Structure 1
Amino acid sequence: MKLLALLLTVHLAFHPTDQAPQTRRQPAEPMDARAAAWLVRPEREEEEKPEQTLDALKILPGDVVADVGAGVGYFSLRLARRVGEKGKVFAVDIQQAMLDKLRENRDRERLDNIELVLGTETDPKLTPNSLDLALLVDVYHEFSHPAEMMEGIRAALKPAGRLVLVEYRGEDPAVPIKPLHKMTERQVLEEIVPMGFRHLETLSFLPRQHIIVFAKQLH
C-alpha cells in the first residue's frame, strides 16, 4: 500500500482542487443528530478502542487538533484532556444539533479548550496553518464534496501536520456495517493522496477499522 501511495504521488501533478478524486463511490448520508445515542453506545469502547487509538497517534500536550465530524464529542473530549490547557481542540460538525449536544458535554466536563465550529458540506471553517493533526473518525465516507473539504483541511494543517482517517474496513465482509459506510484502504489512498497528502502508515489493531495516517504533501 505504501508503494501505491508513492506511485500516485509521483504520477499526479499536485493541485488540491483540480486533482479531485474521480471515483464511483457514492457518499453515505451523514448521521442525523436524532440518532446521536449510537455515537456513545457502551460497546463502542471495545469496538473502537478510543484511548488506544489516541495513544498510537502520539498526541502531545499543547497540540492543536481538529475533530472533523465531531458529533457529540466522543473523541473531542478525549482529545481535549490529552492536549491540556495549552492545547486546543476544534470540534467541527455540519449539524448545529450535534454541536449543541457537544456543548453540553464539554461544559459538564469543564473542558474549556474545545472550540465548537459549525462547518458546511464544502468548508470545515478551519484557520489555515493552525493544526498539528486533523482526525476524521468514520466521517470521510460521508463527505458529499470531498475535494473541497479536504482542500480546507489540508490548508489548515501546519507543514508537519498529520491527517488521520479512521474508516470501517471495506475489505472485510464480516464487519457489520452497511457498505456505503465502509472503505477499503485502497479506496482511501486513491482518493486522499491526489489531494495533496502522503501516506505514512496504516494501523490495523482495531477490530473493524483502519487507522490511515497521512502527512501534508508540500510543494
Structure 2
Amino acid sequence: MTWLVRVLLAASLAASAAAHAGNQKEEALADSVRLALANAIKDARPPQPVFRDEAARLRYQQWLAQMSDRLKRKLPDAQLRTEFLATAWYEATRAGLDPGLVLGLIQVESAYRKYAVSMVGARGYMQVMPFWAKVIGDSDRSKLFHMQTNLRYGCAILRMYIEMEAGNLYLALGRYNGSRGKPQYPNAVLAAWKKWEMAPATPLITR
C-alpha cells in the first residue's frame, strides 16, 4: 500500500467516524424559548433521582445494572460508569426523554468520549455546539466538557427540537445533527437506541 493510499484511507476513515458528529445550527429563537432553555440548564445541583414508589426505584436499579453491564467496554471504571449512567438517566428523565434514546444518541455522537470534539467544534458526550454556551448559558464553553452540563444541554436542546417538530422524533434528531430531512443520522440514532432498551425483568420461579 503506497503512502498516498494510506493517507487517503486514513482521511476516509476519519470522515466516516465524524459523519454523525453534532452540528446544531444557530437559529433565531423566540425569547420565551431562549428563557426556557436557559432555565432548563441553570440548576447545577448533582442529580438526585426521586421515585414515585418502591416499584419505580427497583426498576431504576434494574436499569442501572443492565446498562452498566453493557457500558463496561466503553467506560471500564465502575465509579465513573455509575456516575455517568445516573446522570444520563436523571437528565433524560428531567427533559422527558427516554434514557435509552439519550444513550443511543451519545453512542452515535461521541462513542462515550467525554472530551470528543467534532470537525465543526461540537463538544463532549452529546456533541453540543459551543454557540449554545452563549445563547443560553454563561458563555463558558469549557463547561461543555463537564459531564452533567453537557448532558443537560444536550437533553434540553433535543427536547426543544422535538417540540419544534411537533413531536416528530425523526425530524428532531435531524435538526439536532444539523441534517434535517436526511435519513442517515436519525436512522443511526434510532438503531443505537434499540441497543439500550431495558430487557424485561426475569420472573422469579417459585415452587
Same fold (TM over 0.5): no
Q: Which protein is bigger by CA-based radius of gyration? A: 2
Higher percent of residues as helix: 2
Taking structure 1 as the reference length, what is the TM-score of the superposition? 0.28
TM-score if structure 2 supplies the norm length?
0.29
Structure with the larger strand share: 1
